[in-house]
């Protein structure tokens, strides 16, 4: 997958050289380039922002550097499909595991990181005449800018790319994979500070272990995220689930 990120703080993305994302980059699974928006400014101060029309606090990112940056980084191909432009913003579509799967299936993503009060709306409106544009929100809170959101989204998406996780089975069992939170996990030693590993996990009975995990996942989800339980598609729960 090809990913381009445009930001006035390219240094924010240094951690993307580390750990499994770093490995995915080194192997070519993730082809990531980070661009400094100020490359596309032409004044001595390398200005990217200005006061908002209509008044109000803060500054708004000017359209000209963004237009030039997107022309360079996300050109419209003569044939083939354009990249998908993602703009992190608290007004965007909520980022979820399902959304991460959608993005992981796409060949080219471009992230535009806004700062201050955001990017002049015309940048998004113009881009939308050429390519799919989605504003994306991590949650109902406000960050300084889109950079940290991009790191979060890229981590969630990269681990879904083929070959990135050593054991692809872990994708199937983790939280949010089937609309449920995952059951608790344990490792050695069997007893620690007066707390024992549940005996069933040491029983070797894989059928009962699977049932226990499912029950724990359902209980956790019911207690912590009743909204997720309510959103399960009809038919997701089996007869034995309903009995619990
Ligand atoms: N930028 C500022 N706040 C944000 C949020 N909640 N999600 C994504 N990008 C943001």
State pLDDT tens for residues 146-157. Answer: 999 999 999 999
pLDDT at 242 over 80: no
* Gyration radius of the chain's alpha carbons: 22
Q: State the virtual CA torsion across 125, 126, 131, 133 in degrees, nearest 10.
A: -30
Q: How far is the CA of 27 from the centre of ligand 1 (A)?
A: 30
Judge if pTM exceeds 0.90.
yes
User: What fold characterizes domain 175-243?
Assistant: 1.10.1270
Query: Can you list the positions of beta strands (E) in 104-229?
Result: 108-112, 133-137, 191-192, 195-196
CB 74 within 8 A of CB 132: no
The total number of residues written for the chain in this structure: 244
CB 105 within 8 A of CB 99: no
Q: How far is the CA of 64 from the centre of ligand 1 (A)?
A: 22
Report ipTM for this prediction. Answer: 0.97
State the pLDDT at residue 88: 98
Q: Which residues pair with 191 in a beta bridge?
A: 196
State the pLDDT at residue 244: 55
Domain ranges of the chain: 2-158, 175-243
Which is more confident, 110 or 77? 110
Q: How far is the CA of 188 from the centre of ligand 1 (A)?
A: 39
Q: How far apart are CA 147 and CA 168, in angstroms?
A: 28
Please check whether the two domains, 2-158 and 175-243, share a CATH topology.
Answer: no
CB 103 within 8 A of CB 153: yes
Q: Class of 2-158 per CATH?
A: alpha beta
Tell me if 118 CB under 6 Å of ligand 1. no
State pLDDT tens for residues 167-197. Answer: 877 888 888 988 999 999 999 999 999 999 9
Tell me if 89 CB under 6 Å of ligand 1. yes
Residue 143 is labelled as binding a ligand: yes
Residue among 148, 149, 151, 155 whose CB has most ligand 1 atoms within 8 A, to mutate: 149
Residue 77 binned pLDDT confidence (cut-offs 50, 70, 90):
confident
């Amino acid at each position: 997958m090809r990913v381009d990120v445009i930001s006035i703080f390219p240094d924010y993305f240094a951690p993307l050289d580390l750990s499994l994302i770093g490995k995915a980059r080194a192997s070519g699974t993730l082809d990531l380039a980070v661009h400094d928006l100020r490359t596309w400014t032409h004044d001595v101060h390398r200005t990217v922002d200005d006061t908002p029309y209509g008044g109000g606090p803060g500054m708004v990112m000017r359209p000209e550097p963004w237009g030039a940056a997107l022309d360079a980084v996300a050109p419209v191909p003569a044939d083939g499909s354009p990249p998908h432009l993602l703009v992190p913003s608290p007004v965007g579509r909520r980022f979820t595991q399902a959304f991460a799967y959608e993005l992981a299936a796409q060949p080219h993503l471009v992230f535009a990181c806004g700062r201050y009060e955001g990017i002049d709306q015309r940048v998004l409106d113009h881009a939308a005449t050429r390519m799919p544009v989605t504003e994306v929100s991590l949650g109902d809170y406000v960050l300084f800018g889109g950079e940290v959101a991009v790191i979060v989204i890229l981590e969630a998406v990269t681990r879904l790319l083929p070959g990135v996780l050593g054991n692809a089975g872990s994708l199937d069992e983790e939280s949010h994979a089937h609309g449920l939170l995952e059951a608790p996990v344990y490792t050695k030693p069997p007893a620690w500070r007066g707390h024992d590993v549940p005996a069933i996990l040491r029983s070797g009975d894989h059928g009962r272990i699977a049932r226990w995990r499912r029950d724990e996942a359902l209980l956790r989800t019911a207690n912590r995220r009743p909204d997720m339980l309510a959103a399960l598609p009809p038919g997701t729960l089996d007869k034995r689930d309903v009995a619990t």
